[in-house]
Structure 1
Amino acid sequence: MATIKKRTATDGTTRYTVEVRLKGYPAQTATFKRLTDARKWTQDTESAIRDGRHFKTVESKKHTFGDLVDRYIKDVLPTKPKQAVRQKMQLEWWKEKMGVYLLADITPALIVQYRDELSSGMTYRGTQRSPATVVRYMAALSHAFTIAMKEWQWVEDTPTRKVTNPKESKGRVRFLDDDDRAKLLTACKESSNAWLYPCVILALSTGMRQAELMGLKWPDVNLKDSFLILHETKNGDRRRVPLSGLALALLQEHAKIRRLDTQLLFPGTIHPDKPMILRGAFATALDAAGITDFRWHDLRHCTASYLAMNGASLAEIAEILGHKTLAMVKRYAHLSDGHVSDVVASMNAKIFQ
């Protein structure tokens, strides 16, 4: 229920003080010069409290966006160790732009303004940010607002919900043909870094990401049954990776000379508890092989492409690479057209004899 009390101020003007009391909620008060304003506030406040909106609105006027980012970095990011460094950088970019604003004043239009600024900005390498990068920044912002809405009750809704993400490209498909692959492997074998060749072979054979490969530990490798287990993957799931052929043989040889001061398969020379860094050796091998526009991650594209060209289904490729959905592997669909044609021809031959 609500009560409105009329009183005369020291300057002789009339004031109306409203107190709204609803069972289970703290009392809310406000003072107005006009009775009509007092009655309207009473109706709006009672309705907002019953709908669960009022206290979120109050909180959104007490906290700035900077407060939200600081609390998210302190309380939430420690639970996401794999994304913590990247998302902290992304959220601090947003904080630099909007940190002084109250949460109540963060609108979709304001986010669009800075989304467009982000899109037109440059990376530290001097190249324009890609749509995919902007999407990642937006995702970090969106999750921070979602936590503020659902768990902290700081906002009534997430303003990012009404902001459109830029359209991402179809995805890069860069793989080596037989000649370039042979040249690269020769250059890797001749590298001064003895571990470059087995690491590239493992990457091509299994499709493991660089972080997954370089983070491998001996307790997770089963050479007897020819598989290894990845405990830390990008999508958060454990993954069983089969080993065969040359990759298995190289790991068996590598196991004979494993270091005893670390569990890592490929430890650094100075810090055995940290993985070996192959960036320089790989770049040198690419130059020696005459291969341009190729990154380590493209070895993973090579694996997927070779699988597709050898008849693997998209579901099989997704399972091998550790993707939860087929969306990420559809970029390789055109490489398996010949296999699909064979399947269709076989079906037709059987049903239309």
Structure 2
Amino acid sequence: MAYIEKRTTKKGTSYRVQIRMKGHPPENASFDRLTDAKRWAAETEAAIRQGKHFGIARRRTFTELADKYEAAITDHLKSMQARTGHLAYWREEFDAHSLEDVTSALIADAYAKLHKDGARSVATANRYLATLSACFTFAVKELGWIERNPCARVRKGKESAGRVRYLTDDERTRLIAACKESSNPLLYPAFVVALSTGARQGEVMNLRWPQVDFTRRTILLRDGETKNGAGRVLPLTGEAFDLLRDRAKVRDLKDDRVFPVPAEGRGFGSLRTAWLKALDRAEVQDFRWHDLRHTAASYLTMAGIGSMEVAKVLGHKTLAMTARYSHLSPERTVELGDVLAQRLGLASKKNTAA
């Protein structure tokens, strides 16, 4: 029996057909016109009764699906470059396989190859699998080519808690001095802004003057300008404020980038040599630019700032990302315990007397 559902979204109106007949797997398809939906439903039902229908999942290949999915997301995702690489891998693995043939077992085998013998980290392999899952979800919800996502039954590998490397007080002092001494005039202000705001490398290097508000002492990152796509406000205080205000007085009126890079350079690449030399002069080992973000988060946590507030500054969508710093504030945990004990009337008499 065929059922036609009218669906209206921002992209327009479509009609999804669902056919369920006893003894046969369900069939789904979506159409832009109601007449096409009715015609397909009638022809498909007739073919099923005559034993001539082979199912849309058998007729469509994975390559067709990947092409349609890639075209649909090209202009909408900030992570498009990474997803293109992921899809290239899955296309090679599944080639011209029909969607019916791309089973959970086949996907699990291809996923295992990704991180076999350390070829890629488990975290990276999981990103590949996430892209594939999104592709199949598109096939289910948008195209109606398949009934369910085969990735749902593939177990992902367990990722490590994540690296937390931050500057000690001595390292921070030495690195500040080394960046100040750099012959590259962009290094020190970029370093201070990154360390003071916890902003990501790309957020700092892509910063534009219209985003800087000296009156409110903030930097506005709009939706789509961050890694996760959600905008946020960064604090602009202390020396970071002074450095940007001084740069604003002598900025190039034809270039609104706060940290303009030479034409032959790309993003942080133009500062990389200066950054590595500064690390060497400061004798700071095993430290990356991204660790400035960890340093900002670690110092906030050790100052007793709550996870919710730290997550807001860093732009974490979930507290799971911020939780990695929780071990850095044992004193704050004890303080909270004292507050609770006091409220319950169970405070230590010894501590109260002291």
1:160 aligns with 2:151: yes
Normalised to the residue count of structure 2, the TM-score between the two structures is 0.81
Deviations 1:154-207, CA, capped at 9 Å, x for gaps: 212111011011111111111010011111111111112111111111111100
- Find the counterpart in structure 2 of residue 185 from structure 1: 176
Larger displacement relative to structure 2 (322-331 or 230-239): 230-239
Larger displacement relative to structure 2 (252-261 or 167-176): 252-261
Residue 78 (structure 1) shift: 2.2
CA distance in 2, matches of 1:311, 1:168: 28
Select which of 302, 323, 328 maps to 1:309. Answer: 302
Distance 1:62 1:44, change over 3 A: closer
Select which of 168, 184, 204 maps to 1:213. Answer: 204
Select which of 325, 330, 345 maps to 2:318. Answer: 325
AA of the residue aligned to 1:217: R
AA of the residue aligned to 1:27: E
Residue 280 (structure 1) shift: 2.1
Distance 1:73 1:247, change over 3 A: same
Select which of 142, 159, 162 maps to 1:171. Answer: 162
Q: Secondary structure at the match of 2:329?
A: helix
CA distance in 1, matches of 2:267, 2:280: 27
Residue 93 (structure 1) shift: 0.8
The alignment-based identity, stated in percent, is 42
* 1:271-286 → structure 2 map (5 Å cutoff): 277-286=270-279
Distance 1:246 1:233, change over 3 A: same
**Over the residues paired in the alignment, what is the CA RMSD in angstroms?**
2.3
* 1:1-353 → structure 2 map (5 Å cutoff): 24=38, 25-28=41-44, 29=46, 42=49, 58-80=55-77, 82-120=78-116, 128-231=119-222, 232-270=225-263, 277-349=270-342, 351-352=345-346
Residue 275 (structure 1) shift: 7.2
Deviations 1:17-68, CA, capped at 9 Å, x for gaps: xxxxxx95223455xxxxxxxxxx74999xxxxxxxx8xx722111211111
Residue 348 (structure 1) shift: 2.8
Q: Secondary structure at the match of 1:286?
A: helix
Deviations 1:256-276, CA, capped at 9 Å, x for gaps: 111111111011123799777
Asked if 2 retains the 8 angstrom alpha-carbon contact of 1:173 and 1:331, the reply is: yes
AA of the residue aligned to 2:229: G
Distance 1:314 1:178, change over 3 A: same
In structure 2, runs of 5+ residues without a counterpart are 2-36, 348-354
AA of the residue aligned to 2:81: V
CA distance in 2, matches of 1:204, 1:194: 17
Greater RCO between the two (CA within 8 Å, min separation 6)? 2
Distance 1:224 1:60, change over 3 A: same
Residue 346 (structure 1) shift: 3.8
CA distance in 2, matches of 1:42, 1:291: 74
CA distance in 2, matches of 1:236, 1:243: 21
Asked if 2 retains the 8 angstrom alpha-carbon contact of 1:266 and 1:276, the reply is: no
Residue 279 (structure 1) shift: 2.0
